[in-house]
Structure 1
Amino acid sequence: MHIISITCLALVAFATADFPVEVKAPAPDARNDDTAYRVPEDIDPIHYVVEITPYFEVEGNKEAFTFDGIVTLTFRALSNLNTFVIQENVREIVSVSLTTENGVAVNVASHERVREYQFLRVNLAAGNTLTNLATYRLTVVYIGNINETPLSRGVFRGNYVGDDGRVHWYAATHLQPTHSRQAFPSLDEPGFKSTFDIIINRPANYGETYANMHLVSSTPIGNRVREVFQRTPRMSAYLISFHISEDFTVLADNNDIVRPYRILGRPNARGQGEYALEVGPPLTSWLSDYFNIDYYNMEPNIKNDQIASPYWASGATENWGLVTYRELRLLYEEGETNAVDKLSIATITAHELAHKWFGNLITCRWWDNVWINEGFASYFEYFAMDGVDKSLELESQFNIMYLQSALSSDQTVSTRALQHTVNSPAQVTGHFTGISYTKGASLLLMLKHLVSENTFKKALNYFLIDRGYNNAFPVDLYNAFRRAVGEDGFTTVEIGSFMQTWVDEIGYPVLTANINMETGEIALTQERFFISASVNTTDQTWPIPLTYTSGNSPNWDNLQASQVMSTRTDTIRKNPGHEWVIFNLQQKKYVPCQLRRAQLGNDCECLKPRL
């Protein structure tokens, strides 16, 4: 009897991708309260008017690199309230006032700044109560900081040296994930959505401000210009963006008034936006077609600007209508930019544009499920760009850059599940890690090949339509897939349970196959894989889609799972006969394979792993 043992486990590849570096999980909050930093859900934002007056130098009693702010939040009370809370992390609160929808004053007894949790608590005077489902307007006058570096997020300052040899300043925003509260007091959680009117009172000697939406009016007032922008779509506060500069300009423009696409940057970067313009519009069209939701129909007169910032804290950020990139990730200079950085311009553009649907149109309800935003964007970073330009071979590179990176991060005791409880701003930031990006994307690849691409596309469309301009929980995604697979007759596995297991479970399985060549019986066993041999295994199980081929009849392209293994052990059969067997074809499942020799005779055939 010839027995071959095959074990599926991780192949660690040393590769880099443009997602945040894996960091150690922050320590749990000492008070053991998973919602300590969350605001109560007793008011619902409807609309903000945000007015910003920046100071780049001392003006009277105004300090340099500060700004005056006025925010008016229209909200609906969701219960009878004598006090309510929003979030703020500004320099100073000057005043707080409250009116009814009709402008009748509501007496505010006091406001408290709870600095530990970045709360602004508004207490009503005795005899005053917000009425359930009534609408009110809260106005906060405040002073904010234009922070020294983008690492502080919020509103920050940057500069560059112009062709005139002079230092030119600009102020920009980087509000993801918990920093809109630095730009304006707000309900600064992704699940709260509303529309926004942005008003900027810029210095008269500065150039036109760029923001999420088109400029509606520009009015000189003394030494300033008052700029009013078109109302945004209904979106989360962290997606607000504005860029105030002396002379940033349009570097490249497709000159299409119906489907506009522009590259913005410092004026001495002219000629460096052409490659980004070459890839951006086709990517927008490809994604619009794939999701069957046209980007340019999401909001009347919507923009699609991409701006290059000399200073930026990440690769790029998906602000609706004004995506901001680190210069290296958007600008291409012939003879200076290397091939790897040129490729990253394409893939990061695809990532950020995919966010228009996954992150902007729908948004995770809370950051414990940031993979809903980042997993999808990371998946389409490769597969959307592959759809636009096959010559880049990005479908093949996905396995090296993302799948292997996910497996490497997910093989330790300290890894986390895709859905992972976070509380404080530090914990939220720590969840923007490789697992949310790479494992999320790898799960989607496995899911696509399990249900077929047509069903996959249909489910995504259902999800986006059902939760558009709203927040989403994982169950909303599961239900969209249940609907799609039900219509398409997929019955291999209960798809919602399949997805939930992969989202909720920590780590991933190693699959061992013991093959009886004489009978063709293949005995399968799964257990969690740990990189450390000293760690005891767990009793976890996953639903594993099985694909394999063998030496007597090799077929590397049949990626449809023959079955889904949901138990710790299972048995399948092949045709009797001595031959090699390979599981997990093309590594499309989150159980990559390595073969190893068992105790075999000299006449055994076995494929050696190529490490």
Structure 2
Amino acid sequence: MQNELSTWPIGSFHEIKVKFNGAVRKDNSGLYETSYPDADGNVHFMAGTQMECCGARKMFPCFDEPEYKAYFDLKVHTKYPEYHAIFNTEQESVGPSPLGGDYYVTKFDRTMKMSTYILALVISDYDRSVVARSPETDTSVTILGPKVRLDKGEGDYALELAMDIIDGFSSFYGYNYADAFLPGRAKSDQVGLSDFLAGAMENWGLVTYQNFLIYIIPEEQFEYNVMSVATVFGHELQHQWTGNLITCTWWDEIWINEAFADIGGYLALKWAEPSWNLENEFIVNELFRALRFDDRTGSRPLINKQNNNGAKVENPAQIMGQFDLIAYQKGGSIVRMMIYCMGEDRWQLGMQDYLDANKYTNTDGEIYFKHMQSALDSYPAGDGWDLPYDHSGASPFNKTFDGWVRQMGYPVLRAQADQNLFLVSQSRYLQSGDNIDEPASSLEYKWTVPLPALNMDNEVVMNWMLSNETTVGVPKNLWFDPEAKIFAYYIIEDYQELKKQVNDIFLREEKAAIGLIPFFPKDFHNGVAKYLHSYWKTMVADMTYASQYFHILELTRIFSISSLADGVQRWPMWNTLSYVLNRIVGPNGPRGSFGQTTWVLLQRELSPMYSLVMLTVGRMTLKEQCEMSSIGLVSITKKVA
């Protein structure tokens, strides 16, 4: 065969037929066996797949790399009439199999041009009665699952989510989901699998989930669980555009898939749950988690080709290591910061051009950057800003954001008062140690930092600190912009200024209440959460618990008696406070760092607050949340005062 291949002219086409035998596996990879119980406890066996990242080769011989896209035709022979097979595309025909007996053969539509890792096949006796067509794209959406679950209504919420999100993203990105399929044959199956190592998988046209992320009755579930289902649906269906329609060229840039899906999980709430505060969800579950992970020398860049201590992404184990908080949470946070800086309108138009120009191909960060720069050049700023560089040398978009994607870590900003200015400086933040130059980075761990500021008329003014600047001056009356800070991927080290700004908020609120000045934007409390998170990280870095915990205590008391405590929408601040308090007085707190007398005082002062905060941000059902709101959250939180 090798000698024959060497005689084929480059660009010629040949048909290769391969006979092979493969087993249904038991390890949740490739094509594998799983099962579920019915209402009477009887076990029903079935088969499912998980191809990402290297599972397709375990099912059939193939070029199992993301850049090798192809069209796929599939026939599946199954046994017993109650069993059916579903694939990425619609069934073309079902009939008796030449194998005879109780065997049937299902032939499917040819797929779109796609990578192997998003192929999927499920063979089961699942119920298929929860089905509808989405109103805008006319996509057939089906929730498949055990009959006992669907009969209870556990697939209804998933059906509404999927239809809303598919239609919403189709409009937002200017590319109709249905256009990837044969005319009139678009479909999106959502399927739960009992044995599934991934949380969910974005297979084109056949998305698979762990059971708890699809089968749900919202009114009977914890609020957090409902939010998880909605954001996971958004994440996986966002992938139909970023990941499936366009795909990373290689796994060292998996952020091209995952960062956009990470933010897509929250963007989808615009259509699926428009009354939810998606910013609240994102900063707690994505931004803060990324900051907690990316503060060590063992982190990695988003574009993992350089500045990574020579790390390689070649074998399956190294590939799987790329599916981490950097690709997801940091990637989503950086894309979100890009959106904030350039404006969502321009970003949306850039994404539409990016997807249309590169559909059914593979892309990387450089291609994405070019389309974002084109959007900056072609469309007005709108709700964003122009970037701080001109077109000399690299593009302004590259020069602004290279530091955020081509090296690990992030900066801590320090502000020193100088008459009417804050002189802001930056350095790399590490949770522990002082090896801020390790591993070596060609960008020297300097970043171009957006410094949005709010004036007294609630107008946002953008200041920039360039990567080659030692300090930059920001007027004091423009420094505190809590709403904008939740977009920034950095922390701030300045306790005294934090305390002053928190107190200024209260004074400002009092003046606003009597009409002397405008209220702060509705989400300003998120900025306080970011400040608190920043202060905790810099305090831990100093390891001066005994002298610093009084400051946390003071802030805690301020929060508990202020109007910051009012309203369910302000839970990110309380969630962050719960994290800080847990690190001090929780089960894993630093008791050994205190003297016994100090520890007893700390425990006595903070434990009641810790218990109350955990109750406030606890996982309540929607019914319980409504009951709590009806009596007024403020009546609970102010008991601490």
TM-score, with length taken from structure 1: 0.73
Maintained 8 Å contact 1:584/1:593 = no
Find out whether 1:281 has 2:163 as its counterpart. yes
Among candidates 572, 588, 594, match of residue 473 of structure 2: 572
Question: How many Å apart are 1:386 and its aligned residue?
Answer: 3.8
Which of 369, 376, 387 pairs up with 1:478? 369
1:568: Cα distance to partner? 4.0
1:544 aligns with 2:443: no
Partner of 1:591: 490
- Stretch moving more, 582-591 or 194-203: 582-591
CA contact (8 A) 1:386 1:393 kept: no
The answer on 1:176 being equivalent to 2:52 is yes
RMSD, matched Cα: 2.6
Q: Does 1:265 align with 2:145?
A: yes
For 1:195, the equivalent position in structure 2 comes to: 71
Larger helix percent: 2
Secondary structure in 1 aligned to 2:462?
coil
1:384 positional shift: 1.8
3-state DSSP of counterpart to 1:363? strand
How far apart are 1:392 and its partner, in Å?
2.2
The unaligned stretches of length 5 or more in structure 1 are 1-107, 109-122
Contact 1:317-1:323 within 8 A present in 2 as well: yes
Q: Distance in 1 between matches of 2:223 and 2:483?
A: 31
In 1: Cα distance, 2:129 partner to 2:145 partner = 6
Q: Which segment drifts farther, 337-346 or 411-420?
A: 337-346
In structure 1, the partner of 2:105 is 226
Residue in structure 2 matched with residue 7 of structure 1 by the alignment = none
Q: Which amino acid aligns with 1:166?
A: N
TM alignment of 1:249-398, pairs within 5 A: 249-255=127-133, 258-270=138-150, 271-300=153-182, 301-333=185-217, 337-398=221-282
Look up the match of 1:501: 403
Question: 2:388, 2:400 within 8 Å by CA — same for their partners in 1?
Answer: no
The residue identity in structure 2 corresponding to 1:563 is W
More divergent stretch after superposition (234-243 vs 579-588):
579-588
1:115-130 alignment runs, 5 A limit: 123-124=2-3, 129-130=7-8
* SS of residue paired to 1:562: strand
Task: Give the letter aligned to residue 170 of structure 2.
Answer: S
Cα 1:362–1:294, aligned 2, differ >3 Å: closer, same or farther?
Answer: same
Please report how far the alpha carbon of residue 251 of structure 1 lies from its aligned counterpart in structure 2 after TM superposition: 4.4
Question: Which residue number corresponds to residue 15 of structure 1?
Answer: none
| d(CA) in 2 for partners of 1:582, 1:524 | 15
Per-residue displacement from partner, 1:477-521 (whole Å, max 9, x unpaired)?
0110111101125353301232332111111111112121x3x23
Measured after TM superposition, the shift of residue 335 of structure 1 is 6.6
The answer to whether the Cα contact below 8 Å between 1:584 and 1:591 also exists between their aligned partners in 2 is no
Residue of structure 2 in register with 1:412 after alignment: 296
Superposed CA offset, 1:31-78 (max 9, x none): xxxxxxxxxxxxxxxxxxxxxxxxxxxxxxxxxxxxxxxxxxxxxxxx
Count of aligned residue pairs for this structure pair: 476
- Give the AA of the match of 2:160: E
How far residue 164 of structure 1 moved from its aligned partner, in angstroms, is: 5.1
* Distance verdict in 2 for CA 1:403–1:165, change over 3 Å: closer
Query: Which residue in the other structure is 1:423 paired with?
Result: 314
Residues 140-194 of structure 1 deviation map (CA, whole Å, 9 limit, x = unaligned): 11111211132xx111110112235432111111000111100111111111111
Question: Shift of the alpha carbon at 1:565?
Answer: 2.6
1:426 and 1:491 map into 2 onto residues whose CA distance is 39
Q: Superposed, which structure 2 residues align to 1:137-176 within 5 Å?
A: 137-150=15-28, 153-163=29-39, 165-176=41-52
Q: Name the SS of the counterpart of 2:350 in structure 1.
A: helix
Task: Please say if residues 424 and 474 of structure 2, whose CA atoms lie closer than 8 Å, have aligned partners that are also in contact.
Answer: no
Secondary structure of the structure 2 residue equivalent to 1:235: coil
CA distance in 2, matches of 1:426, 1:596: 43
| Residues 546 and 583, structure 1, Cα contact 8 Å, conserved in 2 | no
Shift of 1:583: 7.3
User: 2:428 — aligned with what?
Assistant: 528
Q: In 2 relative to 1, CA 387–508 (structure 1 residues): closer, same or farther, beyond 3 Å? A: farther
What is the rounded CA distance, in whole Å, between the counterparts of 1:540 and 1:530 in structure 2? Answer: 11
Higher strand share: 1
Please give the alpha-carbon distance, in whole angstroms, between the structure 2 residues aligned to 1:171 and 1:392.
Answer: 37
In structure 2, do the counterparts of structure 1 residues 210 and 573 end up closer, same or farther at CA, with 3 Å as the change threshold? closer
| Equivalence for 1:436 | 327
Residues 178-237 of structure 1: CA deviation (Å, up to 9, x unaligned): 111001111111111111111101113442211111110112021211111001110101
Q: Against the structure 1 CA distance between its residues 254 and 584, is the aligned structure 2 distance closer, same or farther, given a 3 Å change threshold?
A: closer
- Given the superposition, is the C-alpha separation of residues 479 and 225 from structure 1 closer, same or farther in structure 2, using an over 3 Å criterion? same
Higher RCO (CA < 8 A, seq sep 6+): 1
What code does the residue aligned with 1:282 have? D
Alignment deviations for residues 547-592 of structure 1 (CA, whole Å, 9 cap, x no partner) = 1236xx273x62x6333532241322427x8x97457834211113
Change (3 A) 1:376 1:128: closer
2:133/2:163 contact within 8 Å kept: no
Distance in structure 2 (CA, Å) of the matches to 1:261 and 1:486 = 39
User: Structure 1's 293 and 182: CA in aligned 2 closer, same or farther, altered over 3 A?
Assistant: same
For residue 196 of structure 1, give the secondary structure of its aligned residue in structure 2.
Answer: coil
Deviation readout 1:510-541 (Å, 9 max, x if unpaired): 1112121x3x2332211110000443456421
Contact 1:211–1:243 (8 Å) recurs in 2? yes
Q: Identity, % of aligned pairs?
A: 27
Between the aligned partners of 1:588 and 1:418, the Cα distance in structure 2 is 18
Residue 130 of structure 1 deviates from its aligned partner by: 1.8
How far apart, CA to CA, are the structure 2 residues paired with 1:492 and 1:534? 30
Structure 1 stretch displaced more, 283-292 or 483-492:
483-492
The letter for the 1-side match of 2:490 is V
Q: Which amino acid counterpart does residue 124 of structure 1 have in structure 2?
A: N
| Contact 2:412-2:493 at 8 Å conserved across structures | no
Determine helix, strand or coil for the equivalent of 1:190: coil
Report the AA paired with residue 514 of structure 1: Q
Q: Secondary structure of the residue that 1:261 maps to in structure 2?
A: strand
Deviation sequence 1:435-480 (CA, Å, 0-9, x none)? 1000110011100111111111011111101110010011110110
Indicate how the Cα distance of structure 1 residues 334 and 477 shifts in structure 2: closer, same or farther if over 3 A, else same.
closer
